[in-house]
Structure 1
C-alpha cells in the first residue's frame, strides 16, 4: 500500500539520504521515494507514522499524512534554537571564567564541556554511530574533530566550534523552510471544505467527498475549493494563485473556475468538473514537487564530485596530522591542523549549493504562474539562443477580430459595420462572429441566403444587401478601391458590403496580434536572444504581414505539424539550444523536439501541462522574458554557489602551509560557505515579472 507524507525538520541532504536508508531497512518497506526539495515522502509498504518518525529520530524529523496540515514550529520555539541559546550561555560564562583564571580551570572546562554537549549531543550521537559503521559524512568529520580538540586540551575552541556548527544548522533549517514556502503557500490555497447543494440540501463537506457533477456554492470573499464551470451567477475572480494574473477575471455562466482562486464580488453556483486530486492546483503542486526532486545537470555533477571529495578530505587530514608531525616533532600543532582540515572539509555547502537554488527558483516561478517541470528545463532555458513561436494563439490572439472598416461616400463606419453585422447575424461562417460581436444591436432582416464561395445576402430595411468577397463585388460591376485590395494583400480577410446599386464599404477581419507581442520580441532581442522565428501553418502572405508588425524576421509559413518538427531540428543545428513556444496541442511534435518546449495557457489545459517542459499558466506571453531571466539568474547563482563553496574551503586549506589554520577559522569557512550559498540562492525569491 503506497502512502504519501509531508515532512518537517528535513533540512540537510545527507540527513535525507540517511532517513531514506533507515526507512528502506524497515521489514515492511517495499519502496521509498524521498523528495528533499518538496520535503515529501512516498512509502510503499505497511509502515506506520511512528516507525517513520523513529527512522528519522536522529534528526528529529516529523511525519504528517499528505492532506494533514503540517504544524510549523515558530523559529524561536524550535528545539535546535533553544539548545543553541543554552550552549551560547554556557560558552560565554566559560570564556569569562577562562579569561579571569585560565583555560585549564576545571570550572571553565566543565562549562565548555556542557556547552559542547548541549549544542552537539545530537551531532555526536549520529557521528559516533556513523564512525562505527565507517560512514563518513559531515557529522562524522565534526565529531572526530571535536573529540580530537578535547583530547589535545582545546576545550574552548571545541566549544566554539560546536556552537558555530549548531548556529549553522539552525540557519540552514530556517533557510530551507524559507525556500520551500512557495510550495507550502500553494498547498494552503484551496480550502479543505466546501458548501455543496445536494438533494435539495446545503451540506458543508470535505473536498475529498465531493463528486463530479455536484453543485458548489461560493459566497463573495470565499475561496473556490474545486475546479468547475459556473452554473449561475456573475462575479470577478482573482486567479493570481493559478495563473499569476494580477487583474481579477470576470466570470459568468459557462466560464471555467479553478480551486484556490478567490471569489470577490457576487455569489456563484459552480458545477464541479474534477475530483480534488485532479484539480489544476493539485496538478501544479504535484508537477512542481516532481520538478524540485528531479536533479539538474549541475546538481548531478556536484553529487558525483562530493562522492570523491569527502574521502579526499579525510586523506588530506591524516596526511597533515602525520607527515609534518613526524618531520617537525610538533605533534600537537599538526594534529590540531589535521582536525581543522576535517572541519573545513565538510561538504555541506557544496552539496546544498544547487538544490536550494533549484527549489527556490521553481517555487518562485509557480507563484508567478509559470510551471517549470524540472531543474534540467530551468537550466536549459537559461542557455537558449533562439526562440521559435507558433503564430495562432501565441503571437496572435487565436480568433478573428475586426481590424479595419471603410465607408463609401454617404455612409459612416458605424453604419457599414451595423449593416454587415445584420446580414452576418444568420451566418455560420467563422468571420461572421468577428463582425457581429462588435455590434450590440442589428437591423431586422428578411430573405437571408448563403451563396457558397461568395458570401451572404439579405434584405435590410427593404434593400437587398450583399456581404462577401471582393471578387463578388466586382461581378456586380463595382470597381474595388485599391485600399481594399491592399488590406487583402496584407494578409487580412476583407468582405465587401454592397447593394444592387452601390458599394457601401468594406470590413477587414484578421487574427489580430496580441498587443504585447512586439514588446516581447524586442525584450528577447534586448536579452541577447540571437533569433526569433515564426513557425506557422498559415498562408505566407498573412504570416509575413503579422511578422512585420511584431518584429520577427525569420518566417516559415504553410507548415504541417511534422514540418514544424523538421524546422525546429534545423534551427537547433544553427543555434544549438532552441525553445519552442506553442499551444501544447497541435505543436506537440515541435515542443517535444525543442531544447525547451513552452506551452501557452496551461491553466485548465491538460495537454499543455503534459506536453511541455514549461507551461505559462495564464496564456500570458509577457511571462516568457521573466522565465528566461529567472533561468539565467539561477544558472549564475548555481555557478556562484559552487565557487563560494569550494573557494572559501581552498583559501582556508591554504592556511595550513604557514600553520595558521585554526578550528575557529575552519568552522567559519564551513559555516560561512553554507550560509553564503543559501542566502545567495534565496535572492531568486525577489525576481518578479
Structure 2
C-alpha cells in the first residue's frame, strides 16, 4: 500500500506535469519542459516503481511497474509527454485510494470513543470506585449518571431512565429502561441514575463487535477491484514478453540495434494501456462528478462500478426511509370536557422545559397549530415515565401509555406501531397523543423505482420493533421486512442475500448500519445526519438526504459501465491494429504515437459526455417511467 505521503507526491507530480505542458505550449526552450517532466517522473513514479520492484521480488508483475517502464521508454525516444501523462494518472489514482483507506481506518478507530474510558464500579462494600472500562468483568456493578454513556453491556439492577440507544439499534426515540432491562455499551443515559450489572466482557460488547465487523468486512471487500485491474498481471506480463521478443528476435536475425530499439519502444508505447486507462477513468470520473453536482458523493471508481452491479437493495428504516425525528400525528381526547387543542396545549405546557425528543415534538406541534403553551412550574422529569409539572394549579403528567393498555386509543396506536403518550390532569387521563417517525417525502415512489431498476422489491432491515417496521413498510410498499436486528444480525442478513447470488446495495445512516454497509457489495449513507463512521464506511453518500437520488445514481453507474465497455472495445481495436502494424509491417513512430494518442482522445471525449447534467436527467428518467396519469403498474401493485 502506498504511504499517506503519496497524496503530496501525486499533487507535486500533477503540478510539475502542468508546468511542463505550459512550457510546451508557450514554446519555451526544450530543456525547460523536459526538466519539469523528468521531475514529474521522479515525484510521481518512484513509489509505484518501488512497489513494482518489491512485487518482482515476490515473483509478480503489476501494471504500475509496466507504466513506469513504458514512461521511461517513451522518454528514451523523445516522447516524454506520453510518459509523464501515464505517471500522473497512476500517481493520482494510487493517492486517492490511499487517502480513502486511511480515512476509513481512522473512522473505525474513532468508533471506540463511543464507549467511555472510565467507569464507576460499585465494590463489595457498596462504595464507588473509578476504574478503566476495559478492566470491567462480567458480574461487576457500575453506576451511570444522567448524561453519561454506558461503559458496558449489561442489565439494569437499580433505577429507571430513558436511554438513547439509536447508535446500536437505530430506534428513533429514547427507550425507557428499568430493573431487568438489557442495555448496551456506548448508549446514552438521559435522565435517571442507573446501576448496571455487566453481562459481557468489554471486548465482546455490541460496539466492539461493530468495530470488528466493519474492519473484517472492509478487508474482504478491498480484494475486489476494477475489471481492468483484474487482468493487469496477465496484460503486463504479455506486454513485457512481447516487447522483449520484438527487440531480441530481430537482433538475432541481424537487424541493427538502433532500428530494433526504436521498433521495440514503438511497440511498448502503442501496446501500453494508456488508452485503456483513459477508456475506463473518464466515464467513471465524469459520472462521479455529475453525481456530485446533484448531491451524491461517490467515493471512488471502484465504488461506482460496484453500484452498477447491484441486483438487490436493502434499506434501513430510521433516518433513511424516515426522517429520524418524531412528529405528532394524532390527538385523541378521552375526557369530553377537553378538545384536541386543549389536550395538546396542556401537554405542551408541561413539556416546554423538556429536552426529550417526544417533548420537543409536542411543543413544536402546539406552536405549529398556533397554540400558546400555558405557564408551568415545578417541572420534573420522571425517568422512564415522562414529565410532571403544575399548570394553573393543576398537576399535569405527560408520559408513557403502558399503564393504560386497556384504553382503546392506546390499543389502536400500538396496533399501528405508533408511540402512545398519555396526558393526565390531577391523575385523570384526558387524552392520548400519537407520535410517529415521519416517512421521507417520495419514499413510496423511490421504492417503486428501485423495484423497476433491480427487477425485485427492496428489503427493509431495521433494529426497530416488528410492528413499527411493518407499519412503515406497508405505507411505502415494502413487502419483505426484517425487524429487531442488531448490527451483526444485519450483517448476517446481507451476507445471506449475497450467498444466494444477489449483489446487495445497503442504504442506511446510523452507526449500527456501518457493519452491514461494509459487508454489502455496495452501500449508500444518508449524509446530512448520518453518523461519521457510516459516512466514511459507505461507498456513496447522499449529501442532501434525497431518497430519489438512490435509484438515479445506480442508473448513472450502469450507464457509465456501458460507456466503459464501448471505450474498451475502441481502445482494444486501436491497440491490436497498431501492434500488428508494428510487428508485421513498418509502423513509423510519429504515426504510432498519433494512432495511440488519437485512440486516447476518442475514448476520453466519449467518456466526458457523462459530465453533462443531461446524463443525470436521462438516468432519472430511466428509472422513473410513469404510466398514464402515473398509475402503478401490475408489478408495483404486487408490492402492496
Residue 621 of structure 2 corresponds to none
1:467-486 Cα shifts (integer Å, max 9, x gaps): 566676687xxx746xx744
Aligned match for 1:303, one of 232, 239, 261: 232
TM-score, normalising length: structure 1: 0.52
Number of aligned residues: 458
For residue 527 of structure 1, give the secondary structure of its aligned residue in structure 2: helix
For residue 538 of structure 1, give the secondary structure of its aligned residue in structure 2: coil
1:319-342 Cα shifts (integer Å, max 9, x gaps): 99799x99xxxxxx9999999766
Deviates more, 1:661-670 or 1:300-309: 661-670
Give the Cα separation in 2 of the matches to 1:648 and 1:682. 19
Give the Cα separation in 2 of the matches to 1:81 and 1:413. 76
Aligned match for 1:442, one of 356, 373, 376: 373
Residues 334/444 of structure 1: CA separation in 2 closer, same or farther (3 Å cut)? closer
Residues 336/493 of structure 1: CA separation in 2 closer, same or farther (3 Å cut)? closer
Residue 640 of structure 1 corresponds to 566
CA contact (8 A) 1:458 1:464 kept: yes
Give the Cα separation in 2 of the matches to 1:448 and 1:36. 56
Give the Cα separation in 1 of the matches to 2:437 and 2:39. 69
CA contact (8 A) 2:511 2:531 kept: no
Give the Cα separation in 1 of the matches to 2:427 and 2:39. 100
CA contact (8 A) 2:448 2:457 kept: no
Aligned match for 1:525, one of 441, 451, 454: 451
Aligned match for 1:549, one of 463, 468, 475: 475
CA contact (8 A) 1:302 1:350 kept: no
1:599 correspondence with 2:528 = no
Residue 39 of structure 1 corresponds to 10
Give the Cα separation in 1 of the matches to 2:510 and 2:486. 15
Residue 673 of structure 1 corresponds to 599
1:82 correspondence with 2:82 = no
Residue 569 of structure 1 corresponds to 495
1:50-61 matches, cutoff 5 A: 61=16
Deviates more, 1:355-364 or 1:306-315: 355-364
For residue 437 of structure 1, give the secondary structure of its aligned residue in structure 2: helix
1:193-216 Cα shifts (integer Å, max 9, x gaps): xxxxxxxxxxxxxxxxxxxxxxxx
For residue 494 of structure 1, give the secondary structure of its aligned residue in structure 2: strand
Aligned match for 1:314, one of 240, 243, 247: 243
How far apart are 1:589 and its partner, in Å? 2.9
Give the Cα separation in 1 of the matches to 2:266 and 2:515. 56
Residues 355/39 of structure 1: CA separation in 2 closer, same or farther (3 Å cut)? farther
Residue 101 of structure 2 corresponds to none
CA contact (8 A) 2:380 2:388 kept: yes
How far apart are 1:580 and its partner, in Å? 2.2
Give the Cα separation in 1 of the matches to 2:230 and 2:303. 16
How far apart are 1:489 and its partner, in Å? 1.5
CA contact (8 A) 2:344 2:362 kept: yes
How far apart are 1:444 and its partner, in Å? 3.2
CA contact (8 A) 1:473 1:480 kept: no
**Over the residues paired in the alignment, what is the CA RMSD in angstroms?**
5.5
Give the Cα separation in 1 of the matches to 2:390 and 2:32. 94
Residues 319/647 of structure 1: CA separation in 2 closer, same or farther (3 Å cut)? farther
For residue 26 of structure 2, give the secondary structure of its aligned residue in structure 1: helix
For residue 581 of structure 1, give the secondary structure of its aligned residue in structure 2: strand
Give the Cα separation in 2 of the matches to 1:641 and 1:38. 30
How far apart are 1:546 and its partner, in Å? 0.4
How far apart are 1:557 and its partner, in Å? 0.9
CA contact (8 A) 1:179 1:359 kept: no
Residue 419 of structure 1 corresponds to 346
How far apart are 1:344 and its partner, in Å? 3.8
Give the Cα separation in 1 of the matches to 2:442 and 2:568. 38
Give the Cα separation in 2 of the matches to 1:492 and 1:474. 13
How far apart are 1:542 and its partner, in Å? 0.8
CA contact (8 A) 1:179 1:682 kept: no
Residues 79/540 of structure 1: CA separation in 2 closer, same or farther (3 Å cut)? same
CA contact (8 A) 1:470 1:480 kept: no
Give the Cα separation in 1 of the matches to 2:362 and 2:588. 80
Residue 394 of structure 1 corresponds to 320
1:316-335 matches, cutoff 5 A: 317=246
CA contact (8 A) 1:365 1:627 kept: yes
Give the Cα separation in 2 of the matches to 1:428 and 1:346. 64
How far apart are 1:436 and its partner, in Å? 1.5
Give the Cα separation in 1 of the matches to 2:35 and 2:512. 60
Aligned match for 1:489, one of 407, 415, 419: 415
Residue 222 of structure 1 corresponds to none
1:377 correspondence with 2:332 = no
Residues 538/652 of structure 1: CA separation in 2 closer, same or farther (3 Å cut)? same
Residues 576/465 of structure 1: CA separation in 2 closer, same or farther (3 Å cut)? same
Residues 316/419 of structure 1: CA separation in 2 closer, same or farther (3 Å cut)? same
Give the Cα separation in 2 of the matches to 1:534 and 1:654. 55
CA contact (8 A) 2:16 2:36 kept: no
CA contact (8 A) 2:509 2:527 kept: yes
Residues 178/560 of structure 1: CA separation in 2 closer, same or farther (3 Å cut)? closer
1:532-560 Cα shifts (integer Å, max 9, x gaps): 11111212111001011122221011222
Give the Cα separation in 1 of the matches to 2:7 and 2:577. 30
Structure with a larger share of its residues in helix:
2
Give the Cα separation in 2 of the matches to 1:174 and 1:32. 17
How far apart are 1:490 and its partner, in Å? 1.4
Give the Cα separation in 2 of the matches to 1:532 and 1:620. 17
Q: Which has the bigger relative contact order, CA under 8 A and spacing at least 6?
A: 2
CA contact (8 A) 2:71 2:80 kept: no
Residues 471/169 of structure 1: CA separation in 2 closer, same or farther (3 Å cut)? closer
CA contact (8 A) 1:401 1:510 kept: yes
Give the Cα separation in 1 of the matches to 2:386 and 2:7. 63
For residue 680 of structure 1, give the secondary structure of its aligned residue in structure 2: helix
* Higher radius of gyration, 1 or 2: 1
Give the Cα separation in 1 of the matches to 2:424 and 2:3. 74
For residue 442 of structure 1, give the secondary structure of its aligned residue in structure 2: coil
1:655-670 matches, cutoff 5 A: 666-670=592-596
TM-score, normalising length: structure 2: 0.56
CA contact (8 A) 1:322 1:335 kept: no
Give the Cα separation in 1 of the matches to 2:405 and 2:224. 65
Q: Which runs of 5+ in 1 are unaligned?
A: 1-19, 21-30, 42-55, 63-71, 88-116, 128-133, 147-161, 184-292, 327-332
1:633-670 Cα shifts (integer Å, max 9, x gaps): 44334333322221122244566899696666534431
Residue 225 of structure 1 corresponds to none
For residue 458 of structure 2, give the secondary structure of its aligned residue in structure 1: strand
How far apart are 1:454 and its partner, in Å? 7.5
Give the Cα separation in 2 of the matches to 1:457 and 1:584. 32
CA contact (8 A) 1:306 1:351 kept: no
CA contact (8 A) 2:310 2:454 kept: no
